[in-house]
Structure 1
């Protein structure tokens, strides 16, 4: 079904830098492409890639250097020259893993075993958050809008301080959440009165209007309702947005997804899944009452589910998905016209990255295309049954079982056949991995390539390597 195009407001693309932070030259190429695709703002989640200084310097990444102050400024300047606003996203309550993982910050956790949630009772915690924000503001001259995160505040109310606070009659975990966010939002407004504050909405979904109204948060923040699922519940989402509006928060945002929300370890993006998510969001936008002021949509591209989880798909394999999602919003449907616009703009034969034809390097195409092609090709081999389930094939199970290997009693002819098969796969994997690595380090830090290979390739290669080594050892015992 065709909806009307996305009604109004800004189309932001979320750049999640807590994993696979692009090299600055590649970041500029991406921003250039985004502007061609019709993006008018960037939601920048720097995490440990921001050049914090002074006492906060320990928050900087150690795997690879954080962006320099000059790089952060030049990136903004370049984005602005393309008509894009840069909106930093700084977590201030939940998902503070990159802060609270440091031993010096352990005492600021809500509970010891939850690395993400800040203890809302410690004044030092609020000071820390405000110092992070101050440094962000300082390095974003002329900043108009700020996103303070505040999603998925796990284990809230479980800490000793919180239990004490909740022991007073009439106090709830909802109030505890709202009081911290209100305190932070008020402090921001006091320091920078002109700044618009956005926050994730999920912790407020189950709250009633009266609780929200009584929080003191009304007029301070604009909730951003996120849902990345292809089968998003339109009715439920509309009623949530209407609830926030009735509580006095009529300026609202939506958040969809173009990558990083399928499974925590996904390697290649499925465009249709993300297009379906945007088709549902179009239905939501078309069903809202006039009172709801939809400020825009953030199309999120998660690089990790959280600071301590594995890498999701890298940007190059997700660019066809991003282009398709934007065209879906612009056309109000994913029509043939929308699809041909994507294939034309990116110079590809299919909107699905797995189905696009390979090109010669000379052809103009989207930034990172060569890496996308190599990842798709390698991923296909990594997931082929012959390779992934090599240990389950008939010859291995029949003539090279753990029993045989332990006793070093094998049939040499069959073992040599297995060895030659395993070696062939290993050689192919090594060759393709080398090509991926070579291309990846042109766009990303070396550590990203290393992590990606350790995550996706090594677990598949290890059993094959083990088999070849075991066979060699057995043949030494069996063949003169």
Structure 2
């Protein structure tokens, strides 16, 4: 059953730059595509790719250069020229790994072993957050909306100062959370009175209406309720939105996902999975009461689950998913029209990246399409059973076991056949990897290319290389 199209409000695409930050030329191509697909804004999570200055310079990425001031300005100008608003997302409580991993910042952690959570009791912590925000706001002239993160504040209340604070009667971890966020939001309003402040909602989900009403956040922030699952519980989500609304937070946002939420190391997304998530969100939007003022939806595209985890799907392989999710929202269903609009804009035969043969590639708007095709090819090769379970092959287990390797007593004839098979696999992989590398470096920094190969290719090639080296050593002992 079709829902009405996504109601009023903005459609934002989340650009997560804490992994695989695209080169600026590629970013512009993406922004151009987004505008063709009906996107109103970008939710940009810069993290360590922002050109922080002064004492905060140490937050900049050292493995690959952060964007320059000029690049940040150019990206915004280009977005503006396409009618796209830029909303920066700056974490101010949880997920501050990129800040708190730096040695001079260690003392600002809630507990020493949790790199993500800021200690809410330290004045320097709030100062640091405000200085980060100041630099970001100043580099976004005319900015009127800011996202302050505040999701997944793990281990809050476990630090020594928090335990002391919580020892006073009537104090709770919920209040501890709310007091820090309120402090930051008030400081923002004081400095920039016109600023709209968005925050993630997950830390407030279990809170009662009364606690929220008395938190001081009403009228200060607009919660963004996120759920990326294909089987999102519509009823539960609607009642959560209604709860925030009854507590006085009537301006609300939602967040879906077009990539980066299947598993922490997924390489190629399934469009259908993400479309299902958006179909559930359409049902939510159609079911909320008139009092809920939906400001819009952010289609998130996580590039890492957090700053220290591996890369999720790269943007080129996720563009069919993003385009399809956007058209699903615009049409209110994953209809034939929605589908043909995507295949026409991207110039592909299917909305599933694994099945998209090219159609007239002449005027298609699919930046990075060759890279997407190469990644799909290489990934299917790497995930084939014969590659992944080479050590389990009957001949390897029968004639080249760990015991054989240790004693170096082997049957040369069979081990040389194993060697030849492993070498053939390695050559095939190597050729595909070279093609991927050559294409990827056009869109991403060298470091990203290396990280992607380390992550996806090395786990398959390393055991094959080890086996060929071991066989050579053993055969040398057995054959004159």
Unaligned runs of 5+ in 1: none
Q: Deviations over 1:145-203 (max 9, x none)?
A: 00000000000000011111111110000000000000000000000000000000000
Are 1:477 and 2:471 an aligned pair? no
Q: Which residue number corresponds to residue 323 of structure 1?
A: 323
Supply the distance in 2 between the matched residues of 1:359 and 1:81 (Cα, whole angstroms): 30
Deviation at 1:314, TM superposition (A): 0.3
Supply the distance in 2 between the matched residues of 1:444 and 1:144 (Cα, whole angstroms): 30
Q: How does 1:19-30 map to 2 (within 5 A)?
A: 19-30=19-30
Are 1:94 and 2:107 an aligned pair? no
Deviation at 1:360, TM superposition (A): 9.1
**Partners of 1:358 and 1:373 within 8 A in 2:** no
Are 1:77 and 2:77 an aligned pair? yes
Q: Which residue number corresponds to residue 213 of structure 2?
A: 213
Paired residues, number: 480
Unaligned runs of 5+ in 2: none
Q: Which residue number corresponds to residue 437 of structure 2?
A: 437
Q: Deviations over 1:341-396 (max 9, x none)?
A: 11111001110001111579767450010100000000000000010001101010
**Partners of 2:255 and 2:297 within 8 A in 1:** yes
Q: How does 1:221-370 map to 2 (within 5 A)?
A: 221-357=221-357, 364-370=364-370
For the residue of structure 1 that corresponds to 2:442, the secondary structure is helix
Over aligned residue pairs, what C-alpha RMSD do you find?
1.0
Supply the distance in 2 between the matched residues of 1:365 and 1:104 (Cα, whole angstroms): 45
Q: Which residue number corresponds to residue 2 of structure 1?
A: 2
For the residue of structure 2 that corresponds to 1:78, the secondary structure is helix
Deviation at 1:456, TM superposition (A): 0.4
**Partners of 2:345 and 2:364 within 8 A in 1:** no
For the residue of structure 2 that corresponds to 1:12, the secondary structure is strand
Are 1:141 and 2:141 an aligned pair? yes
Deviation at 1:260, TM superposition (A): 0.2
**Partners of 2:344 and 2:364 within 8 A in 1:** no
Supply the distance in 2 between the matched residues of 1:409 and 1:364 (Cα, whole angstroms): 59
For the residue of structure 2 that corresponds to 1:442, the secondary structure is coil
Deviation at 1:251, TM superposition (A): 0.2
**Partners of 1:348 and 1:365 within 8 A in 2:** no
Deviation at 1:460, TM superposition (A): 0.5
Supply the distance in 1 between the matched residues of 2:7 and 2:364 (Cα, whole angstroms): 33
For the residue of structure 1 that corresponds to 2:296, the secondary structure is strand
Q: Which residue number corresponds to residue 169 of structure 2?
A: 169
Q: Which residue number corresponds to residue 196 of structure 2?
A: 196
Supply the distance in 2 between the matched residues of 1:323 and 1:444 (Cα, whole angstroms): 21
**Partners of 2:117 and 2:155 within 8 A in 1:** yes
Supply the distance in 2 between the matched residues of 1:394 and 1:357 (Cα, whole angstroms): 36
TM-score (norm 2): 0.99
For the residue of structure 2 that corresponds to 1:453, the secondary structure is helix
Supply the distance in 2 between the matched residues of 1:271 and 1:234 (Cα, whole angstroms): 20
Supply the distance in 1 between the matched residues of 2:329 and 2:125 (Cα, whole angstroms): 40
Q: Which residue number corresponds to residue 54 of structure 1?
A: 54
Q: Deviations over 1:118-167 (max 9, x none)?
A: 00000110000000000011100000100000000000000011111111
**Partners of 1:267 and 1:313 within 8 A in 2:** yes
Q: Deviations over 1:67-104 (max 9, x none)?
A: 00011011001001100110000000000000000110
**Partners of 1:16 and 1:301 within 8 A in 2:** yes
**Which range is displaced more, 399-408 or 140-149?**
399-408
**Partners of 2:200 and 2:224 within 8 A in 1:** yes
For the residue of structure 2 that corresponds to 1:474, the secondary structure is helix
Supply the distance in 2 between the matched residues of 1:224 and 1:349 (Cα, whole angstroms): 35
**Partners of 2:33 and 2:365 within 8 A in 1:** no
Supply the distance in 1 between the matched residues of 2:84 and 2:362 (Cα, whole angstroms): 30
Supply the distance in 2 between the matched residues of 1:361 and 1:468 (Cα, whole angstroms): 42
Q: Deviations over 1:38-57 (max 9, x none)?
A: 00100000000000000000
Supply the distance in 1 between the matched residues of 2:349 and 2:364 (Cα, whole angstroms): 13
Supply the distance in 1 between the matched residues of 2:236 and 2:207 (Cα, whole angstroms): 14
Supply the distance in 1 between the matched residues of 2:279 and 2:123 (Cα, whole angstroms): 44
For the residue of structure 2 that corresponds to 1:87, the secondary structure is strand
Q: Which residue number corresponds to residue 160 of structure 1?
A: 160
**Partners of 2:347 and 2:360 within 8 A in 1:** no
Supply the distance in 1 between the matched residues of 2:436 and 2:358 (Cα, whole angstroms): 15
